[in-house]
Amino acid sequence: MKVLVATEKPFAPVAVKGIKEVVEAAGYELALLEKYTEKSQLLAAVADADAMIIRSDKVDAEVLDAAKQLKIVVRAGAGYDNIDLAAATAHNVVAMNTPGQNANAVAELVMGMLVYAVRNFYNGKAGTELLGKKLGILAFGNVGRNVARIAKGFGMEILAFDAYCPAEAIEAAGVKAVKSTAELFEQSDIVSLHIPATPETTKSINADLVGKLPKGGILINTARKEVVDEASLLKLMEERTDLKYIADIKPDADAEFAAKFADRYFATPKKMGAQTAEANINAGLAAANQIVGFFKEGITKFKVN
């Protein structure tokens, strides 16, 4: 039985070591494909794999066609928009994610990027503080909850909206639940995005919404670039010279944002949210254990297709 770890952006070595131990203790063999640059490398590596662990690596119909023995693919992380779920089902491949395992890492990065933003990207000019500011969290899942927990330590006022989470559950976490996304943007100084990329959310964060932020508002996106309507945000930021956009997922129009709004825009060169040893260990080991649990006991708890 072969378990392939295919990661264009590798896990920390300590996490790979842990995955290998779990896989070998179960009597399976580990194959490693890291930092690959061509899809053909993935197609070749997956040919004899029974299971596969990925991160943001794309698993489409072509990859599944090449994966003649594949029974399970686990996305070591939260968002599984990189897996063609219908194609996986058609190929009798179980797809899973590892929800929550990297949530703290992403949430810590949100706060780090916010400090960087309100201190004017450390350019020496007087900035502002987070204490007492209103932070709107869009979607109160694992990452949103961790952001709320940490932001409380900064003394921020926290609001949230989640179309799929009852207001009572948000309020139980000591966070003000608002009634809609529009209300969240109206009432917050900063909005942090934690929605998945789905047909429903794609381009849903547009100028109409972001334009509701008060003067000096900040939009921070550590979720997915697809959820932002980049063209309308570019236009809005030209009109509203007070707004900032901070992203851990480089927009398609990165060059245009950077050229036009050098002092109001920042994007990490590569998605860094989940890139900690702890998150890699948590998500990587969870993925390996879920594969073992699936083969040995038929456990499908985190199946998403």
Residue 258: count of CB within 10 angstroms of its CB: 14
CB-CB neighbours of 242 under 10 Å: 12
SS3 assignment, position 75: strand
Nearest distance, CB of residue 287 and ligand 3PG, angstroms: 10
Positions in 282-301 near ligand 3PG (CB under 6 A): none
Of 74, 78, 130, 281, which one interacts with ligand 3PG (CB under 6 A)?
A: 78
Tokens of 48: 């004899």
Residue from 274, 281, 285, 286 touching ligand 3PG (CB under 6 A): that is: 274
Give dist(CA 164, CA 167) in Å, integer.
Answer: 9
Query: How far is Cα 28 from Cα 187, in angstroms, rounded to an integer?
Result: 53
Scanning the structure block, which residue is given the tokens 């547009």? 206
> Please, which residue, 244 or 271, has the CB nearer to ligand 3PG?
271
CB of 101 to ligand 3PG, least distance (A): 8
Work out whether 102 is an interface residue with ligand 3PG (CB under 6 A).
yes
Closer by beta carbon to ligand 3PG, 57 or else 229: 57
Residue 283 C-beta: closest distance to ligand 3PG, Å: 7
Distances (CA, A) of 149 to 66, 133, 282: 43, 15, 19
CB 3 within 8 A of CB 29: yes
- Least distance to ligand 3PG from the beta carbon of 54, Å? 8
Backbone angles phi, psi at 192, to 5 degrees: -110, 125
CA distances from residue 25 to 22, 178, 297, 301 in whole angstroms, order as listed: 5, 48, 15, 21
Under a CB-based contact definition with an 8 Å cutoff, are residues 116 and 122 in contact?
yes
Nearer to ligand 3PG (CB atom), residue 5 or residue 236: 5
Cβ–Cβ < 8 Å for 138, 161: yes
Identify which range of 75-83, 86-94, 133-141, 210-218 contacts ligand 3PG by CB under 6 A: 75-83
Q: How many whole angstroms separate alpha carbon 159 and alpha carbon 4? A: 41
Using CB under 6 A as the binding rule, whether residue 146 contacts ligand 3PG is answered as no
Among 247, 271, 284, 285, contact with ligand 3PG (rule: CB under 6 A): 271
Asked if 142 interacts with ligand 3PG (CB under 6 A), we say no
Query: Is residue 56 near ligand 3PG by the rule CB under 6 A?
Result: yes
Residue 55 interacting with ligand 3PG (CB under 6 A): yes
Among 273, 276, 292, 302, binds ligand 3PG (CB under 6 A): 273
Closest residue to ligand 3PG: CB criterion: 77
Q: Which residues bind ligand 3PG (CB under 6 A)?
A: 9, 55-56, 77-79, 102, 271, 273-275
